[in-house]
Every structure is written in structure tokens, then in C-alpha cells.
Amino acid sequence: MSKYVLGHNQYGKAENRIVKVTRKGNDGSWHEIRDLNVSVALRGDFRDVHLSGDNAHCLPTDTTKNTVYAFGKEHGIDSPEAFGIRLAKHFVSSQDPIREAQIRIEEFAWERIPVPTRRKQHSFVLSGREVRTAQVTYSETTGLQVISGLKDLTVMNSTNSEFHGYVKDEYTTLREAYDRILATKVTARWAHSALAADDPEHDWDRSYTKVRTHLLDAFAQTYSYSLQQTLHQMCERVLDHCPRVNEVRLNLPNKHHFLVDLEPFGLKNDNEVYFAADRPYGLIEGTVHREGVQPVIATSDWIVA
């Protein structure tokens, strides 16, 4: 017995790297690949594991790893979300002490290397552009929650960005900008409605492509007066076009590009030469969701009652 309370706890195997090759065509010479990094977290009745080291309720993390690979073979990988849903439901339904499972997946995209022979398609190059993410949580009591996302999508507008009219206090030295570079490395997450999550026919890949396109479009087409405004436009655009998405959260580091002072060298820098800085960086984060919807995407906030 402990005089203290065991609060939120979870365990599992993180970062299981699985690559799945699917052979198509009459002779199987058309290959498709999916390349995932799968993390499993289990929640439930693990009190004795913590208090006495009695492992009778503990499914080893090694077993959860095996399950990821076995499911890759048994059920294939239609999409990160579908794979995550299958895994999450399995752990909760197959083991009594497990009440909730959360599967987090990163997907690395590969593109074909063009080859002259049409059929022999088995060569790929890693598209380093962004990492697709999915977080699936299945709970015995509250059911399924699917959050899709992406990270490391770096974008830049070389004009059409201003920043002025802000508060000035005694520590303000920033000059107002009427034409600046706006660059950010997008981390996006969007929560799907129960309608989508519970629909076995939901096309997760198509949904992903659609959201990604709208995020890029909104970034490119917004004349920006603040990165917050761009963030809001990006979220709105997704909600406007994707009826089964209920909530969008963006994390946008402002990757500062500072105009270099070339005057000491007798040169005029007419918004041409920039120093790309590492740290510090502005960090703009925000959620936009539909009315009447309870936001579910985790923030870095402090949890209050």
C-alpha cells in the first residue's frame, strides 16, 4: 500500500519501425511500400505493477511490438489511421486490465524513382518533405478518437507579410515591418468527428491529402498581418472544406529571416539578402474548432480542474 495516489500512467513500446512491401500486378512486380514508426501506450489497471512489481496485469512491451509486426502481415496497412484503429481496439478488447490504448504513428513518404520498364516498380526515394502523423485512442468507455497530422512541413512566403500596430512597452525595440519574409515549420493536428472515426470506409489517405493541400493553399494565399492571422486562416480553410474534421491545431515556429545590414559596405539591401536565424524563434500555437465541439487535441497547457 502507498499513502500516495497513483495518477495518470501508461506504458508501451515506442518507435517500432515497420516497413511493409505489398506486391501487385500479375507477377507481383509492382511494389508499394508503407514505412511507419509506431508507438503503443496502454492505460488501465496497472496498480500492482507499480506498487509491488506484480506483473500479472502487465502485457510486456515486447508483446506489443510483436503485435505491430504481426498485424502488418495479417491485416496489411491501409493507412496509419486504419492501422492504429485496429491496434488500439485489439489491445483493449483482448486484455481485461487494459482500458484504453493510444497508438501514435509517424509515416515517412517514399516516391517512385522513374524507371523505363513500366512494370518493374520497386525503386523508391524518400520524400523528406514532411512526416505524416496519426494518433488513435480507443477507450472502453468513450470509444474512438482519431487525430491526424503532419510535422516538419517548412514553408515560406518571400513577401505579402507585414507586422505593425503592436503594443510598445519599455522593452520594445522591434521596428515595424511592411514587407518581410514569413517562414514556418508547420506542425498540424486535426481531430476527426466520430462519424469519420467510426466509418470503416473512411478514406484516410484522401482526407490527408486534402487537408495538406488546404493548409498549403491557405498559407500561400493569405496576405498576412501576423502569423496568428495566417494560422487562423489555415485552420478555417480546413474546417471549411473538410466537414468531418472538427478541430485543427497548429504549432507554428516563426523562422526569423533578418534583413542583413549592408550599409557599412555601401550596399542597399532592398529585401534581398537575409540571415536565417536558429534561435530564439517566435512560437505561435492555436486551436480552431467547430461550435459545440469539445476540443480534444492536447496542448502544452497546464491542466486545470
33 binds a copy of itself (CB under 8 A): yes
Does 220 participate in binding a copy of itself (rule CB under 8 A)?
yes
User: Alpha-carbon distance 294 to 291, whole Å?
Assistant: 9
Window of 80-88, 192-200, 201-209, 295-303 that interacts with a copy of itself by CB under 8 A: 295-303
Q: Which is nearer to a copy of itself, 71 or 201 (CB)?
A: 71
CB 41 within 8 A of CB 101: yes
User: How many Cα atoms occupy the beta-carbon half-sphere of 299 within 13 Å?
Assistant: 15
Question: Which of 88, 187, 224, 245 lies at the binding interface for a copy of itself (CB under 8 A)?
Answer: 224
Report CA torsion sign: 28, 34, 39, 43. Answer: negative
Q: Is residue 132 part of the contact set for a copy of itself (CB under 8 A)?
A: no
Query: Which of 74, 118, 200, 201 touches a copy of itself (CB under 8 A)?
Result: 74
From the number of C-beta atoms within 10 Å of its C-beta (0-12, 13-18, 19+), residue 293 rates as exposed
First to last CA, the chain: 27
Smaller CB separation from a copy of itself, 205 or 254:
254
Question: Does residue 256 carry a catalytic annotation?
Answer: yes
Q: What span, in angstroms and rounded, lies between the C-alpha atoms of 34 and 106?
A: 11
| Beta carbon nearer to a copy of itself, 201 or 270 | 270
SS3 track for 93-118: HHCCCEEEEEEEEEEEEEEECCCCCC
**Number of amino acids touching a copy of itself (CB under 8 A):** 154
Packing angle between helix 80-94 and helix 204-221, nearest 10 degrees?
130
Nearer to a copy of itself, 53 or 201 (CB): 53
The verdict on 265 binding a copy of itself (CB under 8 A) reads yes
8 Å CB contact between 296 and 247: yes
Cell 496489411 sits at which residue?
76
Q: Which of 31, 61, 63, 151 is catalytic?
A: 61
271 makes contact with a copy of itself (CB under 8 A): yes
User: Is residue 194 a contact point for a copy of itself (CB under 8 A)?
Assistant: no
From the CB of 211, what's the least distance to a copy of itself, in Å? 15
- Which is catalytic among the residues 90, 202, 214, 256? 256
Active-site annotation holder among 13, 90, 202, 289: 13
- Site for a copy of itself contains 264 (CB under 8 A): yes
Residues designated as active site:
13, 61, 256
